[in-house]
């Protein structure tokens, strides 16, 4: 049972929290009008804003996760030409969808888009559900994406708080809570939800994100002189803008050494290369890759492995090293190219049929099979081989 002293302390904390929330809401509410006026004249012209119907908003928001706006534009245009509506997307083959996404990374995003499209066709008559809760039930749609689709496409007064909005709110309020924590994100989301104008919820959410993306920039480089609400910004008034947002340091990425094998078969009429599928779970789940093994292997070690896999007389070319950075892991890769005879298996491939080696024509890599960006430098080596332009390091 709670003591009277503990109960009084809890009541006091709640009262202080309520006072702080009321003060912040009053301050942030003053931002709404000047921010919307600024957005009306400064919003970037983006293809998904031209016709903000639910499907287009959904696709653009998923593409924009972890990806720059300029990088997304050509992908969005290409996607909408290939799949102009939910029906065409739902009926598409997964391999085809993955290929169209190639280069955007984080492939679980597009797999969830594909799954969600089929669920919408099956359970919602081909239209995205027009409610926040209904959107949340679809694969790959979290609170931020549901808020974006809901407010922009369906005019629902719901917040969508991304990294840009967290930064803007942290500076406007000089709030020292760590924005990396769930508690801070929840608090900031509640503050934004309290001030959303019911007549323009989508514009307001986009204005907040636009301000963070173009003016209230990260890493100590905000353009306060261009900010339409700088006169309301606590961090600027206190001359400490670069101290916000408060964010805990990310743990250092794990570095993994890998040796990639680019194996070519010239015995038939079509030049082929060896690919295999990655496991269904984990990094780059279920995607195609060039065979690779852990560690930085010498040419002698690679020759021994290939020989044990049944490959005859491979002449190895050591390729230039490459690096690829994932969210939590960094691959430092050494590569070898060899023209070989067909083999039934490769190092690292298990006995399961779905992870066996596949020999595919080079044209299939161009038109049908998605290859993760980590392996793109080695695909370029194949092109150089074909054009007799291969540059390589000596062994």
Other Cβ atoms less than 10 A from the Cβ of 220: the count is 8
Q: What whole-number distance in Å separates Cα of residue 378 and Cα of residue 260?
A: 8
Q: What whole-number distance in Å separates Cα of residue 331 and Cα of residue 369?
A: 22
Q: What is the dihedral of CA 175, 194, 163, 176, to 10 degrees?
A: 10
**Residues 6 or more apart whose Cβ sits within 8 Å of residue 199:** none
> Exposed (0-12), middle (13-18) or buried (19+): which is 279, by Cβ within 10 Å?
middle
**Residues 6 or more apart whose Cβ sits within 8 Å of residue 48:** 56, 57, 59, 60, 76
Q: In sequence order, which ranges of the chain are alpha helices (DSSP H)?
A: 4-29, 32-42, 47-50, 54-64, 69-82, 86-90, 94-101, 108-123, 132-136, 143-154, 163-173, 182-195, 201-214, 234-237, 299-308, 362-367, 376-386
| H or E segment to which residue 272 belongs | strand 272-277
Active-site residue identified among 12, 50, 53, 61: 61
Residue 102's region, left for phi above 0, alpha for psi from -120 to 50, else beta, is beta
Q: What whole-number distance in Å separates Cα of residue 395 and Cα of residue 377?
A: 19
Token couple for 140: 């790959």
Q: What whole-number distance in Å separates Cα of residue 184 and Cα of residue 164?
A: 14
Q: How many helices and strands, by DSSP H and E, does the chain display? A: 17, 7
Let me know if 256 is a catalytic residue: no
Active site residues: 61
């Amino acid at each position: 049972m709670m003591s009277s002293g503990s109960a009084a302390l809890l009541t006091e904390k709640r009262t202080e929290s309520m006072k702080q929330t009321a003060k912040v809401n009053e301050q942030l509410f003053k931002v709404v009008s000047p921010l919307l006026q600024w957005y009306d004249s400064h919003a970037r012209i983006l293809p998904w804003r031209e016709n903000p119907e639910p499907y287009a908003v959904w696709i653009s928001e998923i593409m924009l996760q972890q990806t720059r706006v300029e990088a997304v534009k050509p992908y969005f245009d290409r996607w909408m030409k290939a799949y102009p509506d939910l029906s065409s997307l739902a009926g598409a083959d997964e391999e085809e969808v993955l290929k169209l996404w190639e280069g955007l990374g984080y492939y679980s995003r597009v797999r969830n888009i594909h799954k969600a499209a089929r669920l919408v066709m099956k359970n919602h008559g081909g239209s995205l559900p027009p409610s926040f809760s209904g959107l949340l039930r679809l694969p790959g749609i979290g609170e931020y994406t549901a808020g974006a689709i809901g407010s922009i496409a369906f005019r629902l007064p719901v917040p969508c708080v991304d990294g840009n909005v967290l930064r803007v709110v942290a500076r406007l309020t000089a709030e020292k809570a760590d924005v990396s924590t769930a508690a801070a994100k929840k608090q900031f989301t509640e503050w934004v939800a309290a001030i959303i104008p019911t007549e323009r919820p989508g514009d307001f959410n986009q204005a907040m994100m636009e301000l963070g993306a173009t003016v209230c920039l990260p890493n100590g480089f905000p353009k306060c002189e261009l900010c339409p609400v700088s006169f309301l910004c606590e961090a600027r008034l206190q001359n400490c803008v670069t101290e916000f947002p408060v964010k805990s340091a990310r743990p250092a990425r794990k570095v993994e050494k890998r040796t990639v094998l680019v194996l070519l078969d010239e015995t038939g009429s079509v030049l082929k290369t060896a690919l295999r599928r990655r496991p269904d779970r984990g990094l780059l789940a279920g995607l195609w890759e060039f065979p690779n093994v852990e560690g930085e292997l010498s040419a002698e070690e690679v020759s021994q492995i290939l020989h044990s896999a049944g490959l005859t007389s491979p002449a190895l070319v050591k390729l230039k090293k490459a690096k690829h950075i994932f969210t939590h892991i960094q691959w430092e890769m050494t590569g070898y190219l060899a023209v070989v005879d067909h083999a039934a298996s490769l190092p690292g491939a298990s006995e399961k049929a779905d992870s066996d080696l596949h020999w595919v024509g080079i044209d299939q890599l161009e038109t049908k099979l998605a290859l993760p960006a980590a392996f793109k430098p080695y695909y370029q080596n194949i092109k150089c081989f074909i054009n007799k332009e291969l540059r390589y390091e000596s062994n």
